Amino acid sequence: MLRVIGKRLALLVPTLFGLSVLLFLWVRGLPGGPATALLGERATPEAVARVNELYGFDEPILLQYFTYMGKLLQGDFGTSIITGRPVLEEFATRFPATIELSVVALIFAIGVGIPLGYMAARHYGKVLDHGSVVLSLIGITIPVFFLAFIFKYLFAIQWPILPPDGRQNPRINATHVTDFYVLDGLLTGEYDAAWDAFQHLILPGLALGTIPLAIIVRITRASVLEVQNADYVRTARAKGLMEKTIRSRFILRNAMLPVVTTIGLQTGLLISGAVLTETVFAFNGIGSFLRDAIFELDYPVLQGFVIFIAILYALINLLVDVSYSVIDPRVRVQ
């Protein structure tokens, strides 16, 4: 197991290297060069020259690359053009929000998706099955921002049972230790604050979790259907094993492999869904920050973000692989 993890981590190095080169070339390839991207088309040649000198854009590209990587390895992602703060600091204050939101969305998607998909397969062709298929189709086809808007309109404005925006009611004046608000509330014993933060996560979490939920339902259903008709299941039944044992040991377990892959992929996609969800719910995570960065061509933020996401994706993939070997020991043997 350790060897697999080590190997995957080692593979991360060339991946990130390739990515950093591409990113680096992209920024230098911006129309008019990075200085113009920063200053705008109106910039005077003197201003462009000044910025080129200040940021070292006039140095040989190889030297620029090594300087950038050198700083990156020391955790210096540069300074955001929009906010004037270090990119890493911006990420550090905003990522907890997005991660908190993604975790809730994922728990919702997995917690409801797997049982529903499994039940649909067990009741194949019946009302529950048809219902789940229709529901998951709806879930997949409705864009996440629209769902977010509908949820907010219904459950926060028309029928105000949940908070419509933000991460926490600012009137609570909660203490923040980790910037994971629910966790902070639990750690500091401010249970009201934790509860309030949790309530703020429900609507955006549901909106963000709906698409992965729909996909997980479909994959689980299909996978369980396939496995429950497999030869070895029939053999097990013929041997007289208890139905309960067959279901838990044979069907559910073996059906989980494609589901785990899907969950891994969906986890990565949650971040992009968060951009829209966070905007609708005024949820101040990385999503809304990234949207501004794209509009303003805040390239230190964009560069840093891509690198960060690449690491995150790689880690999620690793986690998926590790889960494989837990679920299916044959993977471990390989």
Partner 1 sequence: MFTSTSARGTHPTKKRAAAITAGAAISALLLSGCVQSQREEDGGAAAEGEVDSTFVFAASSDPASLDPAFASDGESFRVSRQIFEGLVGVEPGTADPAPLLAESWETSEDGLSTTFALKEGVTFHDGTEFNAEAVCFNFDRWYNFTGLAQAPSVSYYYNNLFRGFADSPDAAVYESCEVNGDLEATVTLAKPFAGFIPALSLPAFAMQSPTALQEFNADDIGGSSEAPQLSEYAEGNPVGTGPFKFDSWNVGADLTVSAYEEYWGEQGDVQTVIFRIIDDPQARTQALQAGTVDGFDLVSPADIPLLEEEGFMIVPRDPFTILYLGINHTVEELSDPLVREAIHHAIDKQALIDQTLPEGTQLATQFIPDVVDGYNEDVTTYEYDPERAMELLAEAGYPDGFEVQFNYPTDVSRPYMPTPEQVFTNLSDQLSEVGITVTPAPDVWTPDYLDRIQGTENHGIHLLGWTGDYNDTDNFIGVFFGQEKPEFGFDNPELFEALSEARGMTDREEQTTTYEEINEQIAQFNPAIPLAHPAPSLAFAPRVDSYPASPVNDEVFSMIELNE
Q: Which chain residues interact with partner 1 by CB under 8 A?
A: 38-42, 51, 54-55, 79-81, 83-86, 90, 93-94, 107-108, 110-112, 114-115, 152-153, 156-157, 160-171, 173, 176, 195, 198-199, 202, 232, 236, 248-250, 252-253, 279-282, 284, 288-289, 292, 295-297, 300, 326-327, 329-330
Q: Smaller CB distance to partner 1: residue 162 or 183?
A: 162
Q: How far apart are CA 252 and CA 258, in angstroms?
A: 11
Task: Output 216 or 270, the one with its CB closest to partner 1.
Answer: 216
Residue 107 Cβ vs partner 1, minimum distance, rounded to whole Å: 6
**CA-based nearest residue to 145, from 283, 318, 308:** 283
- 90 vs 190 by CB, closer to partner 1: 90
Residue 17 beta carbon to partner 1: minimum distance, rounded to whole angstroms: 27
Cβ neighbors of 124 (< 8 A, separation 6 or more) are 225
Instruction: Give the pair of three-digit tokens for residue 163.
Output: 């908070």
Distance CA 176, CA 218 (A): 39
Q: Which is nearer to partner 1, 111 or 131 (CB)?
A: 111
What is the enclosing helix (H) or strand (E) of 118? helix 87-122
What the block records as the tokens of 133 is: 């298929």
CB of 238 to partner 1, least distance (A): 13
**Residue 317 to residue 152: CA distance in whole angstroms:** 33
Q: Tell me the residue type at 180.
A: F
CB of 160 to partner 1, least distance (A): 6
User: Are the C-beta atoms of residues 306 and 23 closer than 8 Å to each other?
Assistant: yes
22 vs 92, which CB is nearer to partner 1?
Answer: 92
What minimum distance in Å lies between the beta carbon of 131 and partner 1?
17
**CA proximity to 117, closest of 251, 317, 272, 269:** 251
- In sequence order, the 6+-apart residues with CB closer than 8 A to the CB of 116 are 132, 217, 220
Question: How many angstroms separate the CA atoms of 256 and 224, rounded?
Answer: 8
- Say if residues 213 and 109 touch (Cβ distance below 8 Å): yes
Closer residue to partner 1 (CB): 16 or 86:
86
What is the closest distance, in whole angstroms, from the C-beta atom of residue 328 to partner 1 in the complex? 9
Q: What is the closest distance, in whole angstroms, from the C-beta atom of residue 124 to partner 1 in the complex?
A: 20
Nearer to partner 1, 20 or 57 (CB): 57
